[in-house]
């Protein structure tokens, strides 16, 4: 499964798009767990002390933010879905 990373996350993962080998029926939460296992530095960028996504981190599946998907982070990602991860970005 290909995951696109943005802004400050790109230097941590070494590029824009990274391939992750996950089984079928993987949920958003499970994918995030696989991502932080492979890139431990992302843990403090993506997850709070309870292991949940920070509210300011956005994981989009086909353009929809994970918390607003039918099953939130327990939504199953289908083959061919587009996954994008954005950190908090500030500016003016």
In a domain, 21, yes or no: yes
Q: How far apart are the first and last CA of the chain?
A: 34
| pLDDT single digits (tens) 23-45 | 889 999 999 999 999 999 999 99
In a domain, 92, yes or no: no
- Can you give the pTM of this predicted structure? 0.92
What's the token pair of residue 66? 């994970």
CATH of the domain at 75: 3.10.20.30
Structural domain that includes position 73: 2-86
* CB neighbourhood size of 66 (10 A): 24
Strand order in the sheet with 83-86: 17-19, 2-5, 83-86, 58-61, 64-65
Total domains, the chain: 1
In a domain, 8, yes or no: yes
In a domain, 91, yes or no: no
| pLDDT single digits (tens) 38-89 | 999 999 999 999 999 999 999 999 999 999 999 999 999 998 999 999 998 7
């Amino acid at each position: 499964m290909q995951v696109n990373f943005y802004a400050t996350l790109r230097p941590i993962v070494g590029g824009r798009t990274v391939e992750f080998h996950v089984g079928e029926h993987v949920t958003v939460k499970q994918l995030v767990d696989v991502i932080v296992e492979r890139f431990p530095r992302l843990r403090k960028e993506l997850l709070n002390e309870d292991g949940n996504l920070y509210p300011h981190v956005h994981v989009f599946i086909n353009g929809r933010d994970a918390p607003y998907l039918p099953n939130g982070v327990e939504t199953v990602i289908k083959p061919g879905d587009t996954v994008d991860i954005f950190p908090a970005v500030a500016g003016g």
